Amino acid sequence: MTRTDSSPDDRSGDRTGAAARLEVDSLTKRYGEVTAVDGLSLRVEAGEVFGFLGPNGAGKSTTIDVLLDFVRPTSGSVRVCGHDPQTAPRAVRRRVGVLPEATGYYERASAREHLRFAADMKGADHTPEQTLERVGLTDAADRPVGGFSKGMRQRIGLAMALVGQPDLLVLDEPLAGLDPAGARRVRTLVREERDRGAAVLLSSHITEQVETLCDRVGILSGGDLAVVDTVVGLRERLDADRSVVLTLAERPASLAIESLDGVSGVSEREAGVRVTCRDPTAAGPVVAQLDAAGATLLDMNSRGGSLEHLFLTLTDDEREATGRPATAREAGR
C-alpha cells in the first residue's frame, strides 16, 4: 500500500513525521450569534491518540470541519501535517483518514468498491482485502452497502478512513453501533495505527472509551478545552480528588464529628447530615466511631475518581451552576 505523491499542493509541510500532525492555534468559529469554537488551541503528535471529549454542542464537529476545510475559521489557524487546509486542501485530504459522525454511502456499491473509491480519492494504491480483514468485513466484501447493518456501516467507514495509511486519523465516535467484539477489534486497530506512527484524534462523549484508548485527553466545553492532560496525569488528579461521603439520619449527641480524624466536612442537608472524608481510607474508622456513638448511617458512597465525574463537573454541572460553560482558565489548565 503506497501513497501517490503527485499533488502540486503537496510540496510543503512536514514529510518526516517529526512535527505535530495537528496544530490548532487560537481557533474561533462563529455562526452568527453562536460561538461554536472559542479560541481553541491543541496539538496532536505522531504516534499519539488524543481523546477529544465534549458534550453535545461543545464544538467537536466544527473543529473537525475546519481541519478538513469544510468550514472556514472566523479567526485563528489550523495546520495538518504542516499544511494549511485552506491553501492545501488536497494535501490535507491525502494525509488524513476520516470517520465522520454520519457517513453517506453509495447504497448499491459493495464494501470493496467503497474502498476503491476511497483509494481513488486519495490517490493511493490500495488492496482492499487486508483492510476489509482488519475491520472484519471479509465475508461481506462484495455485498451492497445498502444492506449493511449499523455496525457494518461503521466498519466500512473506518476501513475507508484507513485507506492510504493516513498520517492523521480523525475518528468521530468510532465505537458507535459496534457489538463488543467489533468494539474490541476497533480498539486494537486504533492502537495498531498509533504504533505505526499515525496521530489519532478520537472524538467521543463516552469517557470510558476515551480513558482506555487515549494517551492524552482534552475536555471541550463551550468551544475551548476546560482541561487537557495525559490519561496518567488525569488519573493522578482524579485519585487526589476522590472522597467518601456518608449520610447520617442526625448528628449523634455525644460526638463532635468535625473533630474526627479524616473528616474534611460536615453539612446539614434536608436528607440528613452529610459527612465528607477526603481520605477514603479514613471512612472505615469514622463509620466505626459514628456507629459506637449510636448514629444511623443512611448512605455511603464514593465521589470523584472517574473521568466521567470530571467530565460532568467541567461541563454539565458547571453550566447548571453558572449558566455558562467552564473555561480553561477556571479549570486551571
Ligand X SMILES: Nc1ncnc2c1ncn2[C@@H]1O[C@H](COP(=O)(O)OP(=O)(O)OP(=O)(O)O)[C@@H](O)[C@H]1O
Binding residues for ligand X (CB under 6 A): 31, 34, 36, 54, 56-62, 101
**Do the bridges between strand 243-248 and strand 297-303 make them parallel or antiparallel, or are there none, so unpaired?**
antiparallel
Helix segments in 197-230, DSSP class H: 207-213
Classify residue 308 as exposed, middle or buried by CB count within 10 Å of its CB (0-12, 13-18, 19+).
Answer: middle
71 or 162: CB nearest ligand X: 71
d(Cα 133, Cα 221) in Å, to the nearest integer?
37
Q: Cell 457517513: give the residue.
A: 103
Q: How far is the CB of 253 from ligand X (least distance, A)?
A: 52
Query: Considering the complex, what minimum distance in angstroms separates the CB of residue 302 from ligand X?
Result: 29
Rounded to the nearest whole angstrom, what is the least distance from the CB of residue 63 to ligand X in the complex? Answer: 7
Nearer CB in complex with ligand X: 71/199 = 71
How remote is the C-alpha of 151 from its chain's centroid?
20
- Considering the complex, what minimum distance in angstroms separates the CB of residue 83 from ligand X? 22
CA distance 77 to 152: 36
Residue placing its CB nearer to ligand X in the complex, 60 or 93: 60
Nearer to ligand X, 110 or 209 (CB): 209
For the CB of residue 57, give the shortest distance to ligand X in the complex, in Å. Answer: 4
Choose between 61 and 207: whose C-beta lies nearer to ligand X: 61
Nearest to 265 by CA among 249, 250, 279, 284: 279
Which cell is 272 given? 440528613
Query: Phi and psi (nearest 5°) for 219?
Result: -105, 115
